[in-house]
Copies of this chain bind each other. A is one copy, B any other.
Amino acid sequence: MIRTIGVTYDNEVELNESIDEVDFSRYRWFWTDFDQPTDHELQHLAYTFQFHPLAIEDCIHRLQRPKLDYYDDHTFFVTHIVREEEMEIIKEELDFFVGDNFVVTFHNLPCTEVAQVWNRLLAYRNLEKWNPFYVFYEVLDKIVDNYFPLLYKIEDSLDRIEDNTQNKSMDHLMDELFDTRYMLLSLRQTINPMRDLLYRMLNSHHLNEVMERREYFADIYDHLIKLSDMVTANREMTSDVRDSYLSLNSHQTNNVMKVLTIITSIFAPLTFIVGIYGMNFEYIPELGWQYGYFLTLGFMAVIAVVMFLWFRRLGWFK
C-alpha cells in the first residue's frame, strides 16, 4: 500500500490513497508511505521518485545496518524498529528518504510508529511547525523511545535471575542468562549504529534542516547514549551474575567434597577393623578375650574421635 499526505501551498492537508493519481506539483511538501509494498509497487521507488539504485537495493534487502547516505537531492536513512517476543529480539527496518519537499518512508511490516505520526499529521491544524524533517524527527523519536521498555524488561529479568525470586532450577537460570546476553548483543548491534547515525547527523554540514532543530535531534542522541550505556552495563552485570554463580558453585562443590571425605575417612578404617574380627581364621587370639569386643569398640571410638579432631584442625568444619 502506498499512501501520500500532501500539504498544499495554503497549508491544507490532503490524503491520497493511490500513488498513481497524486499530482505532486500541487503540494508545498508531501509524505509518501510505502507500507508493505508489493513487488509491483516497489517500482515506484525507481520510476516515480527516481531514487538511487543503491538506496533502493538497501530498501529491498532485509535488515541493513542503521546508517545515513547523502544523495544529490535527498538523504537516505536506514533505522531499526525493535520488539521482543519470548526472550528474542525481533528487528524491523524502517527506511526514510528525506528531501527538501518530501519524505518517503518504507517498511515491509506494519509500523505503529509511522501510523501514530501519520494520524497526528492528518488531525493537525497548525501546519507551520511541520516539514519533511519534522516528520522524520517525530517518527525517529518514537522509535528510540520504544527501545527503553525493552531494556527495562531486560533489567527486570536480570534482577529476577540474580535473586532467583522465582526459585527456578539452575539450568533454567543459566539458560535465561544466556538468552539475556544474546538479546543485549543483538540490541547493541542496533543501538550503537543508531547512536553513530545521530552523531553524524549532529556533526554533519550537509543537513541544514537538522541544524535548525539541533536540540531536538540532540535529545534523541542523549537517549541513545543512555541506551548504549545501559546495554554495556547490563552485559557486565550478566557476566557478574554468571561469575558469581560459578564461584558459589565451586565453593559448594568444595563443601560437599569435604563432607564426603570426612564420612569416608571415619568409616573406612572402622569398617576395616570390624572386618578383621569377622574373619573366620581358626586361631585369632583376640576373639577369645573376655573384653575383646568392648576393647575393640573403645579402640574404634578413639579412631573416630582422632579423625574428627584432625579434620577440625584442618579447618574443614568452618
Contact = CB atoms under 8 A, between A and B. Distances in A.
A240 interface: yes
Most buried by B among A182, A245, A261: A261
Interface string A154-166: 0000000010000
Contacts of A291: 283
Interface in A86-143: none
A209 interface: no
B267 A272 contact: yes
Contact of A174 (B239, B248, B259): B248
Given A237-B182, A240-B182, A69 B256 contact: no
A254 interface: yes
A233 interface: yes
Interface of A: 52, 54, 57, 64-65, 67, 69, 71, 162, 170-171, 174-175, 177-178, 181-182, 185-186, 188-189, 193, 215-216, 218-219, 222, 225-226, 229, 233, 236-237, 239-254, 256-261, 263-272, 274-284, 286-293, 296-297, 316
In the complex, the 6 A-B pairs of residues with the closest C-beta atoms, listed nearest first: A274-B275, A267-B268, A277-B279, A260-B261, A281-B293, A278-B278
Given A178-B240, A284-B293, 16 more contacts: A57-B219, A67-B222, A71-B215, A177-B244, A189-B229, A249-B254, A250-B250, A253-B257, A256-B258, A256-B316, A257-B257, A257-B261, A263-B268, A270-B275, A274-B276, A274-B278
